[in-house]
Amino acid sequence: MQEQVGVLFMAYGGPDSLDDIPGYLADIRAGRTTSAALIREITRNYRLIGGSSPLLELTRDAVRGVMGQLNTSPGRYKAYLGMRHWAPWIEETVGHMLTDGIERAVSLVFAPHYSGMSVAKYQKKIAAGLAFHHGHIKFAHVEHYFDAPGLIEALANRVRMGIERFPASQRDSVHVVFSAHSLPVRILKNGDPYDRQCRQTAALVARKANLPADRWSWCYQSEGRSPEPWLGPQLEDYLVDLAKAGIRNVVSLPVGFVSDHVEVLYDIDIEAQAVAQANNMRLERPPSLNSDPLFLRTLAELIEGTARAAGWV
């Protein structure tokens, strides 16, 4: 019988209730003081999207979908889920893996693009969990999948969905804005691949969706609250620029996010939408990938390929 391979799925995490927000922000900010004003603002944002993050349940659904495609040989893979900034914590989940006797595992983050400030930090959480529990698991990491054909096709389908929301007579005028979570500008000096990978995803999706060069563009969104410069332009400001250029019909496609979370449900659906309406624009956002079958099949193939490259299956 072949040794069971663990699969550690990871996502950012989100508060389960409004009462969790101070603790959630404290974990994200890692010791930096969180002002009462910021807590009130973030609490308001979450209240406007229903009072909690849907990310955990959406991620659980996605994990079930991926495992349904992976477990063609019953029992070969076993799924685990850990969150970076909220329960179930990655370090705690690693402890469960050790208790279960897992010795080999594939890790995958629900984020297509690699950065030292994102995917690398998830991997450090794994290492911290192993150190805390005094155990050893040999991990093979899925580092990125920004150009995976299945991801590109799934996102191109979303472009088509967004454009089809407009009357047929207006579809040739629709401009698609791709975006991802902003990171500090300093990552560029460090040679971090994040910006390059994000832009490459956008270009590949635009090509797959047959978008002419003048009908799509790139920006960032959801910049952090620190005094250092962040990658831009930010979506809200960029929409104003597009309006000034005479563009009135826009599809927003956040290719850096694969699941609904506050950066999508508030930052785009509420904040960016308000900017669009104030500038006489129509802004449409097609559904996030969430449990899109093509996306889940892509993740299953990535996991299988990683395990096979490690010689485990």
Supply the DSSP string of 12-27, one letter for each residue. Answer: ----SSGGGHHHHHHH
Please give the Cα distance from 155 to 152 (Å, whole number). Answer: 5
In this structure, are residues 223 and 234 in contact, taking their beta carbons and an 8 Å threshold?
A: yes
In this structure, are residues 1 and 34 in contact, taking their beta carbons and an 8 Å threshold?
A: no
pLDDT band, residue 66 (cuts 50/70/90): very high
Q: What 3-state DSSP class applies to 264?
A: helix
Please give the Cα distance from 309 to 38 (Å, whole number). Answer: 45
- 32 burial (CB, 10 Å; 0-12 / 13-18 / 19+) is exposed
DSSP code of 234?
A: B
Amino acid 153 reads E
The alpha-carbon radius of gyration of the chain (Å, integer) is: 20
Please give the Cα distance from 208 to 114 (Å, whole number). Answer: 22
* pLDDT at residue 101, as a whole number: 97
154-199 pLDDT tens trace: 999 999 999 999 999 999 999 999 999 999 999 999 999 999 999 9
**pTM (2 d.p.):** 0.97
Q: What 3-state DSSP class applies to 9?
A: strand
* pLDDT at residue 1, as a whole number: 53
85-131 pLDDT tens trace: 999 999 999 999 999 999 999 999 999 999 999 999 999 999 999 99
243-274 pLDDT tens trace: 999 999 999 999 999 999 999 999 999 999 99
In this structure, are residues 266 and 48 in contact, taking their beta carbons and an 8 Å threshold?
A: yes
Q: What end-to-end distance do the CA atoms of the chain give, in Å?
A: 11
